[in-house]
């Protein structure tokens, strides 16, 4: 476990809150079973699985020195028992998330803290966890690794982030579906501000590649319930466009539109066998995320 007091996104209190929770895969784990996850395969011995490039922080005992001698390349030998679960978190960092009404955190900071807590949880389970942060393009990608050094690098990166740019979720998801090399757990943290039809195709791409997907949909309570009164000046956080509206005249239409949007997302995820869950960012993120993990563990 890292020295959590160093990270704004992961405090000791958060680590303690999630200490007894688990995030389990549902049938995608390949290889030898050493811990929590159920595998679709049985009878594997502890054996060599594949090579990957050495990353600072990896145990040097797994470097293949023969390959280094031949090609001057540092590669790591990975074994089946080291790859029970590979998880990658895709964190939306677009400007639309820089919003809060009454909650303690913006949607963006809520998402950052959820990502940090999940990284720590998966690391504690000795699973390999990676992170991709993105808006219009992938800004940084940390391949899945199971080490304290890898977790430290990801947490420091999360602390440095600021929301910026417009979202292009469908393009990002298509790219990552191809980029992730083998069946894994993919966790999407986003407000889903993109074209629904394009998003549906991108989500199905993950499933076509046989990844298990969790989609955490971030919505502020003000977006869910539209509590505004009187004449309100709204600003699009991504484009800067402004619109002045009479709140009472729009409330019912906005609430109906949000409910239909959520229902459409839920249907698309259900058709693709994706675990979809709305997180209300006006709540404390520890409470909202922990409630989801408990609910998932009971299924």
pLDDT at residue 17 is higher than 80 = yes
The domain limits of the chain are: 4-28+85-297, 48-81
200 or 56, greater pLDDT: 200
User: What is the average pLDDT score of the chain?
Assistant: 84
Q: pLDDT value at position 27?
A: 54
Q: What pLDDT shows up at residue 181?
A: 75
CB 146 within 8 A of CB 57: no
Residue found under tokens 């420091």: 156
What is the distance between the alpha carbons of residues 100 and 106, in angstroms, rounded to a whole number?
5
Residue in the structure block whose two tokens are 């940090």: 116
pTM of the entire predicted model: 0.79
Give the pLDDT score at 213: 95
Q: Are 169 and 92 in contact (CB under 8 A)?
A: yes
- Per-residue pLDDT, 277: 96
Residue 267 contacts by C-beta under 8 Å, 6 or more apart in sequence?
none
Predicted pLDDT of residue 2: 44
Q: Is the pLDDT of residue 138 over 90?
A: yes
For range 127-141, the mean pLDDT: 95
| Segment 162-193, tens digit of pLDDT | 999 998 999 999 999 999 977 789 999 999 98
Residue 188 CB-half CA count within 13 A? 28
For residues 142 and 130, the answer to whether their CB atoms sit within 8 Å is yes
**Is the pLDDT reported for residue 129 higher than 50?**
yes
Query: Quick one: CA torsion of 223, 226, 228, 232, rounded to 10 degrees?
Result: 60
d(CA 223, CA 73): 51
Q: Which residues have C-beta within 8 Å of that of residue 70, sequence separation ≥ 6?
A: none
**Position with higher pLDDT, 256 vs 43:** 256
Residue 30 pLDDT greater than 50, yes or no: no
Name the least confident of 46-50, 71-75, 274-278, 289-293: 46-50
Per-residue pLDDT tens for 74-96? 888 765 444 468 999 999 999 99
Please, are residues 42 and 188 in contact by the beta-carbon 8 Å criterion?
A: no
As a whole number, mean pLDDT of residues 219-245 equals 78
**Residue whose C-alpha is closest to residue 286's, from 162, 71, 171, 120:** 120
Cα 31–Cα 36–Cα 41 angle in degrees, nearest 5: 30
For the ranges 212-216, 240-244, 253-257, the one whose mean pLDDT is highest: 212-216
Cβ(25)–Cβ(38) under 8 Å? Answer: yes
Assigned fold of 4-28+85-297: Rossmann fold (3.40.50)
């Amino acid at each position: 476990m890292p020295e959590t007091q160093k990270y704004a996104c992961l405090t000791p209190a958060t680590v303690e809150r999630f200490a007894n929770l688990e995030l389990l895969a549902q049938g995608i784990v390949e290889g030898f079973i050493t811990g929590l996850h159920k595998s679709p395969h049985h009878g594997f011995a502890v054996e060599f699985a594949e090579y990957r490039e050495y990353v600072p922080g990896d145990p040097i005992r797994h470097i293949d020195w023969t390959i280094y001698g031949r090609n001057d390349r540092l590669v790591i030998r990975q074994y089946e028992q080291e790859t029970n679960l590979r998880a990658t978190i895709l964190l939306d960092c677009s400007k639309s998330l820089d919003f809060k009404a009454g909650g303690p955190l913006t949607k963006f900071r809520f998402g950052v803290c959820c990502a940090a807590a999940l990284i720590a949880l998966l690391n504690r389970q000795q699973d390999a966890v990676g992170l991709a942060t993105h808006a219009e393009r992938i800004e940084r990608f940390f391949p899945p690794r199971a080490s304290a050094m890898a977790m430290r690098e990801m947490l420091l990166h999360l602390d440095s982030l600021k929301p910026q740019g417009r979202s292009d979720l469908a393009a990002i998801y298509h790219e990552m579906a191809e980029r992730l090399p083998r069946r894994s757990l993919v966790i999407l943290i986003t407000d889903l501000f993109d074209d629904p039809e394009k998003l549906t195709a991108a989500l199905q791409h993950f499933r076509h590649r046989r990844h298990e997907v969790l989609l955490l949909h971030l919505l502020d309570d003000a977006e869910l319930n539209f509590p505004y009164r009187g004449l309100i000046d709204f600003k699009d956080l991504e484009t800067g466009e402004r619109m002045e509206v009479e709140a009472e005249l729009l409330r019912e239409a906005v609430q109906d539109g949000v409910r239909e949007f959520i229902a459409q997302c839920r249907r698309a995820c259900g058709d693709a066998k994706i675990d979809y869950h709305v997180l209300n960012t006006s709540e404390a993120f520890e409470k909202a995320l922990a409630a989801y993990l408990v609910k998932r563990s009971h299924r």
